[in-house]
């Protein structure tokens, strides 16, 4: 069995004045070397959970262990184990990439030769050598994200925590970050990855946990999460968005577990998909809805996520 690098035991956190806990009795474990995805809608408690794991916030109750040591009593030592790449860019805009890395490296306790070596390594990891002496204010969003990642790697953490690391960047930069993270993970680094992009988790993560309203509502391997829900998905792409009356007619069909509507896309979850298709197409034609394409297959992560957390908008 793999060693456990992170374990949370019934940890909770409620902010003053809040009507419920942001994190409510969460127990979770992450094995050494895992690429672990943490998902949840806005307000689910993900960022609060990561903040407590990384020692930035104290839990109201429960226990957090890193390599078997309690975060509450070994904060300084444990922070050397963890690298945190926050969603909000933690960069000094008027400094160059090298100056940013030198500053944050010295804050981590790196000195002289070791500091210089790690700065050079991190510039290479982020492929930032050609931009090392340019001020960050001139960088594109992708370059800033790459530098943000490089800073989190300065002290060679055993556990890397990434909170929405690809927000607002181009596909090329996103692909580069993916490849860098895969390489780091293959080299033995444990990674906890949170994002709203479900396809990123499907590409990168072997283990997944889904949070909602402060609780873990699903946890397991990616394959277990995808196959745990009942039914298959009939995916229908329409020429125009459909109306509530049409959806109500479809929901009356026998064998339908749920219908997820995303603009012009209908995802019909059914335990009897082949029996449902003909009737569903008939209703859509009666309602003058033009079908552009139709497919049947297993549920993807986004469909499972919406089935577990609902389709209502979150703040």
Position 311 scores a pLDDT of 62
pLDDT digits (tens, 9 = 90+) for 240-287: 999 999 999 999 999 888 888 888 999 898 878 888 899 999 999 999
Phi, psi of 216 (to 5 degrees): -85, 115
Q: Taking 80 as the threshold, does the pLDDT of residue 303 lie above it?
A: no
Tell me: pLDDT of 34 over 60: yes
Mean pLDDT (the chain) is 90
Q: Please report which confidence band the pLDDT of residue 231 belongs to, taking 50, 70 and 90 as the band edges.
A: low
pLDDT at 78: 80
What distance lies between CA 27 and its chain's CA centroid? 18
Residue 107, judged by CB atoms within 10 A of its CB (0-12, 13-18, 19+), counts as exposed
Position 16 scores a pLDDT of 94
Residue 307 has pLDDT above 80, yes or no: no
230 pLDDT band, cuts 50/70/90, is: low
pTM: 0.81
CA 167 to chain centre: 11
Beta strands 207-212 and 35-39 are parallel
Measured from the Cβ of residue 34, the count of other Cβ atoms closer than 10 Å reads: 21
- Dihedral sign, Cα of residue 94, residue 96, residue 99, residue 100: positive
**List of domains in the chain:** 4-226 (3.40.50.300), 230-298 (3.30.70.2470)
Please check the confidence at residue 161 and state whether its pLDDT lies above 80: yes
Reported confidence tier of residue 312, pLDDT bands at 50, 70, 90? low
């Amino acid at each position: 069995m793999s060693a456990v690098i992170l374990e949370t035991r019934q940890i909770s956190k409620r902010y003053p004045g809040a009507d419920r806990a942001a994190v409510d009795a969460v127990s979770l474990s992450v094995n050494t070397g895992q690429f672990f995805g943490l998902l949840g809608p806005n307000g689910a408690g993900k960022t609060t959970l990561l903040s407590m794991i990384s020692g930035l916030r104290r839990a109201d109750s429960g226990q957090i262990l890193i390599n078997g040591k309690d975060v509450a009593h070994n904060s300084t030592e444990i922070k050397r184990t963890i690298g945190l790449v926050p969603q909000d860019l933690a960069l000094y805009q008027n400094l160059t990439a090298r100056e940013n890395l030198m500053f944050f490296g010295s804050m981590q306790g790196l000195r002289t030769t070791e500091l210089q070596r790690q700065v050079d390594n991190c510039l290479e990891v982020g492929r930032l050598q050609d931009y090392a002496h340019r001020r960050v204010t001139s960088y594109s969003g992708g370059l800033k994200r790459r530098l943000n990642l490089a800073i989190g790697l300065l002290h060679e953490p055993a556990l890397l925590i990434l909170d929405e690391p690809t927000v607002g960047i181009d596909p090329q930069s996103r692909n580069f970050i993916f490849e860098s993270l895969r390489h780091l993970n293959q080299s033995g680094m444990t990674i906890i990855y949170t994002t709203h992009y479900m396809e990123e988790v499907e590409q990168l993560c072997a283990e997944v946990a889904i949070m909602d309203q402060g609780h873990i509502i699903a946890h397991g391997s990616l394959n277990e999460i995808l196959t745990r829900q009942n039914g298959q998905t009939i995916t229908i792409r329409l020429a125009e968005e459909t109306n509530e009356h049409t959806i109500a007619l479809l929901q009356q069909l026998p064998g339908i577990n749920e219908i997820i509507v995303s603009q012009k896309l209908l995802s019909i979850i059914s335990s009897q998909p082949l029996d449902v298709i003909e009737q569903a197409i008939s209703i859509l034609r009666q309602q003058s809805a033009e079908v552009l394409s139709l497919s049947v297959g297993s549920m993807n992560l986004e469909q499972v996520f919406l089935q577990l957390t609902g389709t209502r908008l979150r703040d």
